[in-house]
């Protein structure tokens, strides 16, 4: 099991219940949507699965590791080895080429620059941007910028990719490009969870996990 949540709750400020006893299991290789309206708890779910926050109660296991038992350093190592993140905003450095935006995603890996650039080139080729290596974000469309962000997320070959509203800032055609890239990555073995409020994207995924008021429905 790559994701396992058991009776997970999250309470903010002692009173706001963002998650209410959530149970979820995800097998390696799945492509699923975690879908729900604003305020349903799906962003909090992203933070739990991504080990960006700890539950108030319950158990979160990622790739077999009980998150509650890990130190901050061990959590950072878990994220570096097992998790990739793609967000609605692209978070690319504006004056930096696509190649180095992706290579910078491995800054803390200890790999030398030449090796990081070699792997960045390979990741950009995987998302169909082998011809855009030297282009900067302002020279690319929104869809291309998001594909650079996907390449940065997968450059370290994480088994699990979390995509938070990955097409939210894109037109329909660019969004379709990004979804195709995600499908290709999933076909190659990456487990992908897409957090979205968009029912069309949810229906596109083989599995949908629907949330309302902090619970799975």
Domain boundaries defined on the chain:
3-216
Say what the pLDDT of residue 106 is. 84
Say what the pLDDT of residue 105 is. 84
CATH superfamily name and code, 3-216: P-loop containing nucleotide triphosphate hydrolases (3.40.50.300)
Residue 96 DSSP symbol = S
- 5 membership: H or E segment, kind and range: strand 3-12
At a CB cut-off of 8 Å and minimum separation 6, what does 21 contact?
Answer: 7, 8, 9, 58, 215
Query: Given phi > 0 = left and psi -120 to 50 = alpha, else beta, which region is 188?
Result: alpha
* Assessment of whether the complete model's pTM goes beyond 0.85: yes
Measured between alpha carbons, how far apart are the two ends of the chain, in Å? 21
The segments of the chain whose pLDDT lies below 50 read none
Say what the pLDDT of residue 107 is. 79
CA distance 65 to 87: 24
Pairing relation of β-strands 16-26 and 31-35?
Answer: unpaired
- 181 membership: H or E segment, kind and range: helix 172-187
Say what the pLDDT of residue 14 is. 85
């Amino acid at each position: 099991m790559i994701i396992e949540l058991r009776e997970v709750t999250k309470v903010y400020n002692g009173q706001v219940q963002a998650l209410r006893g959530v149970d979820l299991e995800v097998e390696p290789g799945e492509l699923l949507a975690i879908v729900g309206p604003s305020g349903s708890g799906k962003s909090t779910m992203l933070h739990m699965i991504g080990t960006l926050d700890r539950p108030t109660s319950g158990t979160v296991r990622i790739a077999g590791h009980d998150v509650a038992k890990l130190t901050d350093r061990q959590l950072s190592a878990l994220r570096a080895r097992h998790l990739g993140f793609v967000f609605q905003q692209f978070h690319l450095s504006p004056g930096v080429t696509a190649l180095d935006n992706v290579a910078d995603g491995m800054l803390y890996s200890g790999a030398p620059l030449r090796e990081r650039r070699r792997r960045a080139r390979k990741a950009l080729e995987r998302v169909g941007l082998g011809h855009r290596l030297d282009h900067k974000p302002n020279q690319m469309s929104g869809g291309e910028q998001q594909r650079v962000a996907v390449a940065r997320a997968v450059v370290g070959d994480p088994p699990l990719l979390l995509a938070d509203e990955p097409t939210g800032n894109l037109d329909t055609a660019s969004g379709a490009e990004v979804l195709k890239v995600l499908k290709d990555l999933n076909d190659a073995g990456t487990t992908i969870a897409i957090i979205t409020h968009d029912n069309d994207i949810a229906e596109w995924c083989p599995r949908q996990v629907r949330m309302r008021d902090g619970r799975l429905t």
